[in-house]
A and B are shown apart, each in its own frame.
Chain A
Amino acid sequence: MSADEKILELVNVSKTFDRLQVLTDCNLRVNKGQTIVLIGPSGSGKSTLLRCINLLEPPTSGGVLFEGREITDDPRGADRLRRNIGMVFQNFELFQHLSAIENIMLAPMKVLGMSRKDAHDVGLELLRKVHIPERADHFPDELSGGQQQRVAIARALAMRPKIMLYDEPTSALDPEMIREVLDVMSDLSQEGMTSVCVTHEMGFARRAADRIIFMEEGRILENAPTEAFFGGDANARAQKFLSQILH
């Protein structure tokens, strides 16, 4: 991988909801160009950890450093931070009242002040990148799940993010549509897009990830290079989880 230039770091991040401890002292370092896959049983805190990165869930304690700068203390910095971090959701969350291309155009126009024409050009280019330029004028409810998720990826890319976060991007998809979404994600990783992905797709993890992180009960139990993780070096709990999901 590219030079070990750190782009994102979580330091002792903890999160409690009311009295429920969801994350405990999580440490994570993401280098530029890396693809990191987060795995673990449901309820282990993977999604919450992901949402701490762009402050959709502000950590209760600990710090998030983006490009070396502490971002957790600055509530007004959240909007600015999120421009640089793209996010893709399990349920796509395309804006229902906008067509595919309008979904992509909204943030560049309203946040970056891009002109309608320029935003349209960007939108078309990104739709080509995710292989559905012909669906530009379709509305979300006229698209398949796989197409919706690809538009959602294009929407996030329109802000030219420095990191992409994926929150179980294929969990809500029919099996035959998973591949088309994973392919887009793999291509992005190969082009050097820094990515953090929560997923259960072990094939994708093996293929695209540089490191695998295993979480359970709000703690990071394993953080290993992909080959080592799948090669049998993972700790006993992670091994057991792997054997459970690989049937």
Chain B
Amino acid sequence: MSLDLVAQYLISQPFLHGAWVTILITVVSLFFGVLAGLVLALAQQTRFLPIKILTIAYLWLFRGTPVLFQIIFIYNVLPSFDIRFSAFWSGVIALSLNEGAYMAEIIRSGLQSVKKGQRVAGQALGLSHLSVLCWITLPQAARIVLPPMGNQMIGMLKTSALVSVIAVQDLLLVANQTASADFRYFEALCAAGIYYLGLTSIFMIAQGAMEVALDPKARRRRANGEAGLRAILRRILSNTTTAGGDNVR
């Protein structure tokens, strides 16, 4: 084994590009996944029956089949109905739709954790339904939702490796190809592993920062001079002891 080679792989063009593709797929899929989740969560609260049935069917479909199946289905089956996406976008669409189903449940539980009296109090002040949602319900739900959402974010980073089966040049595919071309499995996979760990670390810090940002009391403490980074670190340390294991799909 050669640490030099690991370092060479780390800064090589294919690995950098692979890491970039992995980040891109993860971030874009998360964005659309959260968006889909929010829409689905709100749709579930409507009293309009057809919409309710539609969302339940959606959750049933996307939570009931493997995400790998969904990726392959969108890439290989949809073209026979003349619906064509590039490999990259097939991966992003599958991951987004799948993520939306999980996010919907997380966001729904967050919205339900805000007691009805809070919404009624907002209405009584003359706030419209939309204002109540934006300024009262969502900010309170966001704090509840963030820790499980952090799990989903980190999960997504790792799940994104599945797109390698439809030949998207992501980190894992690059590592695997490099390894088999050079017969250097240890070094190539080490380099990929280092990238994955580095990226998940960044996600953890981002989650900590968001939790601090959404904690009104932490905001006040920071205004009174406590360093932001220390607050974030403390948040992350307290998380590792309380957060459940992430769900591997």
Contacts and interface: CB of A to CB of B under 8 A. Distances in A.
Contacts of B135: 106, 110
B220 A93 contact: no
A79 B216 contact: no
B117 A93 contact: yes
B140 A93 contact: no
Interface in B117-145: 117-118, 120-128, 131, 135-136, 139-140, 143
A95 B118 contact: yes
Q: Give the most central of B126, B128, B217: most A CB within 10 Å.
A: B126
A56 B216 contact: no
B134 to A, nearest CB: 8
A54 B216 contact: no
Given A137-B220, A139-B216, A139-B217, A95 B121 contact: yes
Interface string A70-85: 0000000001111101
A155 interface: yes
B125 A159 contact: yes
B127 A110 contact: yes
B228 to A, nearest CB: 19
B216 A89 contact: no
Interface string B66-77: 000000000000
Nearest to A141: B217
Interface stretch (A96-104, A177-185, A206-214, A218-226): A96-104
A96 B140 CA distance: 8
Contact of B124 (A56, A95, A139): A56
A47 to B, nearest CB: 12
Chain A residues touching B, range: 20 to 34
Given A98-B216, A99-B220, A139-B216, A107 B118 contact: no
Given A99-B216, A99-B220, A110-B135, A82 B125 contact: yes
Contacts of A111: 125-127, 131
Give the secondary structure class of B's interface. helix
B120 A97 contact: no
A238 interface: no
Q: Give the most central of A54, A96, A139, A155: most B CB within 10 Å.
A: A96
Nearest to A138: B220
Nearest to A81: B126
Nearest to B214: A97
Nearest to A158: B125
A93 B136 contact: no
Contacts of A82: 123-126
A79 B129 CA distance: 9
A123 B135 CA distance: 18
A156 interface: yes
A91 B143 contact: no
A244 to B, nearest CB: 29
Contacts of A56: 120, 123-124
Contact of B131 (A93, A96, A110): A110
Interface string B215-238: 011001000000000000000000
Contact of B128 (A79, A89, A93, A106): A79
A91 B117 contact: yes
Contacts of B124: 54, 56, 82, 85-87, 89, 156
A109 B143 CA distance: 23
B127 to A, nearest CB: 6
Contacts of B118: 93, 95-96
Contacts of B117: 89, 91, 93
Contacts of A156: 124-125
A97 B125 contact: no
A197 B143 CA distance: 35
Contacts of B220: 99, 137
Interface in A13-48: none
B18 to A, nearest CB: 41
Interface of A: 54, 56, 79-83, 85-87, 89, 91, 93-99, 106-107, 110-111, 137, 139, 155-156, 159
Given A80-B126, A93-B121, A159-B125, 11 more contacts: A54-B124, A81-B126, A82-B123, A82-B125, A83-B125, A89-B120, A97-B143, A110-B127, A111-B127, A137-B220, A139-B216
Interface of B: 117-118, 120-128, 131, 135-136, 139-140, 143, 216-217, 220
Q: Which 4 A-B pairs have the closest CB atoms?
A: A83-B126, A93-B121, A107-B125, A87-B124
